[in-house]
A and B are shown apart, each in its own frame.
Chain A
């Protein structure tokens, strides 16, 4: 009986390890999201514009970004602090409705000169059958005058 328990524990451990590798690969496919990217543009007067580019598989009720988190660093990217979060529920400009793509600059954040910024963008596409999301981290930019 003890031998059986050991075998069961070993089997479950192996299954758990394999599932850890399977989850990322299965997450690479999507029924809703096809391609996506996002980037920041440092403009004049320390403005940081967030541009989001998403394409979906067919027309969606909503496609775009469901959440944009702006992070700031004053030590060349060693540490980051969240300074602003935008949600599509408050900023409807972050998504297109009844569309298969979204390409826009929905928000502009005013930063501090000399500090670095990055954004974690939650890509979103969904319709009546469901939705899918992906997290995308933009390259960092430096705010300037």
Chain B
């Protein structure tokens, strides 16, 4: 019954399999289809209906106002065939197909990660770069893009006060009295990220004296190593001068406005007091 319409190139053929020398009309084919459906027991070839419909279609163009969807719905309703909405049709994959898809995904993922690993091993931090993609702007980022800030040139002065003057610092910071037998080595200034620092180096008969004047505006104050006890808090000119001891060395620390000052070395406490007094005279 399935090959009933094979000769349709030569004209419509009766679905019943008997060659009809006369070309059946649309109405005859419609009647035959109706008879076939009336006799349909649910076991016959369901595609036979499709063949009838093709044969009917070849008899002439369909009516221009024919609504195919509506007609199909009417057809289904008339013959009690449940309609199937194409968008809601659930496709079921066979386990073999699923295994095949999963195997392909696994191979692609393995190849991708193997490639990334080779790139990473070659020295390019691809995983780091991927991590940076979460930033608001896309850019590749190289963690090694550091630059060494070149050393700033330093000036030298013959005295600490001249160094302060050259920077226009009129705050009393430099002691005018120094220990005996002292020798000035150098006085240098460094101006780095937001902070000027002046270093004064002196040589004593049995050691060294260092004076450091640091500009502290929005940067942290220095940590100062010392023995647990503070020797004295010496107030001069309404400024507290902390006199400390650190394993036998005397250290004086105070601040005046934005300036943090430190004097330390192999000096006596008396010499420290004298130096503090001389700053404000």
Seen from chain A, the residues whose Cβ lies within 8 Å of a Cβ on chain B are: 25, 28-31, 33-39, 41, 49, 51, 53, 55, 57-59, 83-84, 91, 93, 100-101, 103-110, 112-114, 134, 136, 138-139
- The reply to whether B143 and A84 form a contact with Cβ atoms under 8 Å apart is yes
Within 8 A of A (CB), among B112-142: 132, 135-137, 141-142
Docked complex Cα distance between A33 and B249 (Å): 12
- The reply to whether A51 and B193 form a contact with Cβ atoms under 8 Å apart is yes
- The reply to whether B208 and A93 form a contact with Cβ atoms under 8 Å apart is no
Docked complex Cα distance between A139 and B219 (Å): 9
**Contacts A34-B210, A34-B246, A110-B146 known; A103 to B192 CB distance under 8 Å?**
yes
- The reply to whether A28 and B225 form a contact with Cβ atoms under 8 Å apart is yes
- Residues of chain B within 8 A (CB-CB) of A112 are 132, 135, 141
Q: Is B20 an interface residue (CB 8 A)?
A: no
- The reply to whether B262 and A35 form a contact with Cβ atoms under 8 Å apart is yes
- Residues of chain B within 8 A (CB-CB) of A51 are 192-193, 195, 219
Cβ contacts A to B, 5 pairs, < 8 Å: A55-B262, A83-B143, A100-B201, A105-B193, A114-B136
Pick from A35, A103, A105: contact of B223, CB under 8 Å: A35
| Whole-angstrom distance between the Cβ of A106 and the nearest chain B Cβ | 7
- The reply to whether A30 and B193 form a contact with Cβ atoms under 8 Å apart is no
User: What 5 new A-B contacts, CB under 8 Å, besides A29-B246, A134-B223?
Assistant: A35-B223, A51-B219, A53-B222, A100-B201, A101-B212
- Residues of chain A within 8 A (CB-CB) of B212 are 35, 55, 101
**Contacts A101-B212, A112-B135, A112-B141 known; A37 to B223 CB distance under 8 Å?**
yes
- Residues of chain B within 8 A (CB-CB) of A53 are 195, 197, 214, 222
- The reply to whether B227 and A29 form a contact with Cβ atoms under 8 Å apart is yes
- For B, the interface residue count at a CB cutoff of 8 angstroms equals 42
- The reply to whether B199 and A101 form a contact with Cβ atoms under 8 Å apart is yes
Docked complex Cα distance between A69 and B262 (Å): 28
- The reply to whether A105 and B192 form a contact with Cβ atoms under 8 Å apart is yes
| Whole-angstrom distance between the Cβ of A103 and the nearest chain B Cβ | 5
- The reply to whether A39 and B210 form a contact with Cβ atoms under 8 Å apart is no
Pick from A39, A55, A113, A136: contact of B219, CB under 8 Å: A39
| Whole-angstrom distance between the Cβ of A25 and the nearest chain B Cβ | 5
Q: Name A's interface SS.
A: strand
| Whole-angstrom distance between the Cβ of A40 and the nearest chain B Cβ | 9
- The reply to whether A34 and B224 form a contact with Cβ atoms under 8 Å apart is yes
- The reply to whether A28 and B226 form a contact with Cβ atoms under 8 Å apart is yes
- The reply to whether B227 and A107 form a contact with Cβ atoms under 8 Å apart is no
Listed from nearest, the 10 A-B pairs whose CB atoms lie closest are: A35-B222, A41-B193, A37-B222, A30-B225, A105-B149, A51-B193, A39-B219, A103-B190, A35-B224, A25-B228
- The reply to whether A33 and B148 form a contact with Cβ atoms under 8 Å apart is no
| Whole-angstrom distance between the Cβ of B143 and the nearest chain A Cβ | 6
Docked complex Cα distance between A53 and B207 (Å): 22
Q: Is B84 an interface residue (CB 8 A)?
A: no
Docked complex Cα distance between A34 and B263 (Å): 10
Q: Is B247 an interface residue (CB 8 A)?
A: yes
Docked complex Cα distance between A100 and B148 (Å): 22
**Contacts A49-B193, A105-B149, A107-B146 known; A28 to B136 CB distance under 8 Å?**
no
- Residues of chain B within 8 A (CB-CB) of A139 are 220
Docked complex Cα distance between A4 and B194 (Å): 63
- The reply to whether B151 and A104 form a contact with Cβ atoms under 8 Å apart is yes
- The reply to whether B149 and A36 form a contact with Cβ atoms under 8 Å apart is no
- Residues of chain A within 8 A (CB-CB) of B226 are 28-29
Pick from A39, A59, A114: contact of B220, CB under 8 Å: A39
Q: Is B147 an interface residue (CB 8 A)?
A: yes
- Residues of chain B within 8 A (CB-CB) of A106 are 148-149
